[in-house]
Amino acid sequence: MTQQIFPTKGNLMALQKSFALAKKGYELMDRKRNILIREMMTLIEDVRLLRKDLAHTYQQAYQALQEANITLGIVSDIAKAIPLDNGVEVTYRSVMGVEIPSVSHYAEQVKITYGIGHTNTKFDYAYKSFQKVRELTVKLAEIDNSTYRLANAIRKTQKRANALQNIVIPRFESQIKYISDALEEKEREAFTRQKVIKKQAEKRKEEHKQ
């Protein structure tokens, strides 16, 4: 149902301006949505490849750990001697106003404190494999979080674009048509009145001459 607005030229100009802004807003929302979708599709492919790589690396790491356990016995005491690595930093970049995390992992020079004589190549390989697991997990966390943020932004952008396209813009079109039709009708009525007045004036003029 069209909201009734007093049909004046001022209101018509204001509505036409708002209508132009709404169309521009829709174009921007549509462009933003498409850019975000392209960004997310790239990340989704990265996630697929990364999960595959991570699953394979996990398998290698646990297999190496099992072999180390077999050759060395329980290695939990040895593992406790390895210091924690806190070399992770999170920064953000903006994609069409959406803050996307970028997780950087700094491989610090870790001083190995377990005795070399108490370990073997199996344990060292397991250690390096789990280091790679950590790096891949950090990267996966970054991409998963980025994908979630992008998907959420796409939903919001889509909702706003739909509101502009299906509600706001049609309402402005309807209101503009209503006022334009009303003003045209007023002009026709005014023109008709002028013709009648002119005809009556000419008739009186002729009667006066007689």
Instruction: Convert the pLDDT of each residue in 118-133 to its tens digit.
Output: 556 777 788 888 888 8
Asked whether residue 124 is assigned to any structural domain, the reply reads: yes
Q: Which domain holds residue 166?
A: 9-200
Asked whether residue 113 is assigned to any structural domain, the reply reads: yes
At 67 the pLDDT is 79
Asked whether residue 207 is assigned to any structural domain, the reply reads: no
DSSP annotation of 82: S
Stretch 77-105: mean pLDDT: 76
Whole-angstrom Cα distance, residue 27 to residue 159?
Answer: 14
Asked whether residue 2 is assigned to any structural domain, the reply reads: no
Inter-residue contact 102 to 90 (CB < 8 Å): yes
Whole-angstrom Cα distance, residue 69 to residue 134?
Answer: 21
Percent of the chain topping pLDDT 90: 44
89 φ/ψ angles, rounded to the nearest 5 degrees: -135, 135
Q: Cα 13–19–25 angle (5° rounding)?
A: 140
Where residue 90 falls among pLDDT bands split at 50, 70, 90? confident
Nearest to 129 by CA among 74, 67, 71, 179: 67
Number of domains into which the chain is organized: 1
Asked whether residue 3 is assigned to any structural domain, the reply reads: no
**Residue given tokens 């009145």 in the structure block:** 193
Stretch 66-90: mean pLDDT: 65
Whole-angstrom Cα distance, residue 26 to residue 30?
Answer: 6
Asked whether residue 110 is assigned to any structural domain, the reply reads: yes
Asked whether residue 209 is assigned to any structural domain, the reply reads: no
* CATH code of the domain covering residue 27: 1.10.287.3240
Stretch 7-19: mean pLDDT: 94
Stretch 174-202: mean pLDDT: 85
Where residue 76 falls among pLDDT bands split at 50, 70, 90? low
Q: Which amino acid would we find at residue 11?
A: N
Asked whether residue 116 is assigned to any structural domain, the reply reads: yes
